[in-house]
Amino acid sequence: MNPNLLLQIFGNSDILVNQQKGYETLQDIRGEKDLKQYSQHHYQQYKKGKLAVQFPLIEQTLQHLQQQYPHESFIILPLLTDQRPWIKEKTGTKGDDWKLIASKDGHWWENILKDWSQQQNKTCHPRIFSIESETDVSGAANWEKMAKEINLYLANLFTVNDAQLDYHSPEKKLPINRLFIQHSSGTPALSSALYLWGVEQKLQGVEVEFIYITENEDYTPSNSLLLHTATQWQWRLKVPQIQQLLAIQDFSGAREIVESHIEESFHRNQQKVPDNFQAVQKELKTLDQAVSLNLSKMQNTSQGESLTGREAVLERLSIALWSEFAFRKRGQWMHWYLRVAGAFELTICLLLEQQSQGQFTWQGRDLIYTPPSDPKQQVKINRLSIVTLVVDLLTDGDFKDNKKMAKRYPFLTITPITKTPDWKAFKRFYTTDWQILEEAISHREKQGFTHLRNSLFHSLVGDSIDEDLDQSSRQYEITDSNHPTEVAIQHLYYLLSLANLKPEIEQRMAKYQHKVTQLKEQLKLLY
């Protein structure tokens, strides 16, 4: 079995010399030379058996872990600080900082720690963590600097691949079974930096546990050793990520984070998933399916049946309109266009249904006309040319100006739309001139909104629309009335008003937005 690894900062309480903290035995320090002499003297005295040395926190931690995992091996990896470089830069080789700061470094005890480990038959790899001269006057107390330096330092000792942590030991690379981080030793800046680094590894799927030990007044470890998983802190780092994903309606990404947390924090430990986590997971799944226009699991609450026919059309249209702005905001124009183009076609069909005075009805996903004289000759209205439906049927009420369609569907007549300036503007936008830039996909100066669909659908020509709309976005805000996408959305709302559907669609959209708002509040209450 791969070894476990105990990682910690070597702090003031980690060594007792004759029942005193190690640095308290280093007296009359005037500079670096005195410290070196004391360190060498202590080592010689220890080798002669004249110095009683203990490493209480390491001993207590190992004893606890070995009781929990009696058949597993452990590597001890203490980081021994060395602040000499920056102290020399600041004060030279003499001064009070050598007694007040440098004497508390761990590197002075490196040789004793190595000998003690061998005597105790423990695998220990002390590493010197040097605080370089470019560090500011705070040294190991500099919070931001230590967070950065710990990351850089440990990047040379560890690598992670598919949640497997490998330790680059002095001899070879070793895969690690579990990583234990003791974060009660060292300066607050260093211990916090190590703790945060550990949480980051846990977020990558590495099996990490954390240990905190309290002290008695005589500086010996008490019986209070807390072994914890940092689940709450790990979650608190994830919540802002989830909130950001909710803001752009990336429910799939948010769902992945939540489900990975459930797997790591509950399933892996064979714990029951709390109800509030299950509720968040379920709601994210619902929103993810909805924004993907997957309504297979959605039911008509009044009848308890799956959504079909007109009800499903209204729901899809509501979702498309609710979600289009997120794609606009991200500049994902091809995704935005296909969503909005679909919303236009559904709205046009709903408008046709209204103007048919009951002649057209929804059957499944199709708008159907059944001739009374020949019920077998059903016409799927939504399968006809969308441009023809707008230019001829909705505008004139029939196909009299379209010989081919008039010959084939002479019986299709509806109440035409009143030819107002707004209707004429919509027709021009939809069929001949969407006020986008001159470089259209077909290389014609003017193209209607609907013409772009075929190029995107058949050829996946997303670069042209990206270039045009990106340039528009550099000129206007995406909500500016001159921006082509805002022009399109306003025409879509105009159609909804004609079909007397705007209040209902907005109510359905608000339902989804309310779900997102509730979800954000639920996230705050977890843990």
- Total Cβ atoms within 10 A of residue 319: 24
> What mean pLDDT is predicted for residues 159-167?
94
> What mean pLDDT is predicted for residues 517-524?
91
pLDDT (0 to 100) of residue 112:
94
- Total Cβ atoms within 10 A of residue 265: 20
Residue 53 has pLDDT above 80, yes or no: yes
How confident is the prediction for the chain on average, in pLDDT? 87
Give 138 or 328, the one with higher predicted confidence. Answer: 328
Give 420 or 20, the one with higher predicted confidence. Answer: 420
pLDDT (0 to 100) of residue 186:
87
pLDDT (0 to 100) of residue 441:
43
Give 468 or 508, the one with higher predicted confidence. Answer: 508
- Which tokens is 340 given? 């909005």
Helix/strand number for the chain, H first, E second: 20, 18
- E strands of 116-163, at which residues? 123-124, 127-130, 158-161
> What mean pLDDT is predicted for residues 394-418?
93
How many Å apart are CA 422 and CA 426, to the nearest integer? 6
Reported as a single tens digit per residue, the pLDDT across 253-287 is 999 999 988 988 888 778 899 999 999 999 999 99
pLDDT (0 to 100) of residue 71:
93
Amino acid at 463: D
> What mean pLDDT is predicted for residues 442-463?
67
Give 134 or 366, the one with higher predicted confidence. Answer: 366
Q: With contact defined as beta carbons under 8 Å apart, do 469 and 333 qualify?
A: yes
pLDDT (0 to 100) of residue 527:
66
Reported as a single tens digit per residue, the pLDDT across 353-396 is 999 999 999 998 999 999 888 888 889 999 999 999 999 999 99
pLDDT (0 to 100) of residue 218:
44
Residue 98 has pLDDT above 70, yes or no: yes
How many Å apart are CA 79 and CA 57, to the nearest integer? 14
Using a pLDDT cut of 70, give the percent of the chain over it. Answer: 90
4-9 and 74-82 strand pairing: parallel
Give the per-residue SS3 of 247-310: HCCCHHHHHHHHHHHHHHHHHCCCCCCCHHHHHHHHHHHHHHHHHCCCCCCCEECCCCEECCHH
How many Å apart are CA 51 and CA 26, to the nearest integer? 14
pLDDT (0 to 100) of residue 221:
45
DSSP run (H or E) holding 164: strand 164-168
Residue 206 has pLDDT above 80, yes or no: yes
pLDDT (0 to 100) of residue 139:
74
pLDDT (0 to 100) of residue 386:
94
Residue 412 has pLDDT above 50, yes or no: yes
Say which residues have a Cβ less than 8 Å from residue 329's Cβ, sequence separation at least 6: 248, 478
How many Å apart are CA 149 and CA 129, to the nearest integer? 9
Instruction: Return the C-alpha torsion angle 179, 183, 185, 189, nearest 10.
Output: 120
Grouping H, G, I as helix, E, B as strand and the rest as coil, residue 211 is strand
pLDDT (0 to 100) of residue 503:
97
Reported as a single tens digit per residue, the pLDDT across 211-255 is 988 755 444 444 466 666 667 777 888 889 999 999 999 999 999
- Which tokens is 494 given? 């105009």
pLDDT (0 to 100) of residue 140:
75
Using a pLDDT cut of 90, give the percent of the chain over it. Answer: 59
- Which tokens is 437 given? 């830039």
Reported as a single tens digit per residue, the pLDDT across 165-182 is 999 999 999 999 999 999
Residue 38 has pLDDT above 90, yes or no: no
